[in-house]
Amino acid sequence: MYDCIIVGAGPAGGSAAYHLAKRGRSVLVLEKEALPRYKPVR
């Protein structure tokens, strides 16, 4: 069982997971893409 499940490992999801885990919460992060993700150059 997890304390928190985060959908999406973008900047907000990654930051949330980091801070929750740092405070001792068990966290599951779900991401559909392989990491590191492809980022188009503009």
Burial of 13 (0-12, 13-18, 19+ CB in 10 A): middle
What's the pLDDT score for residue 18?
97
Percent of the chain with pLDDT over 70: 90
**Amino acid of residue 36:** P
Range of the domain at 22: 1-42
DSSP-assigned beta bridge partners for residue 29 = 6
pTM summary value: 0.76
- Report how many domains make up the chain: 1
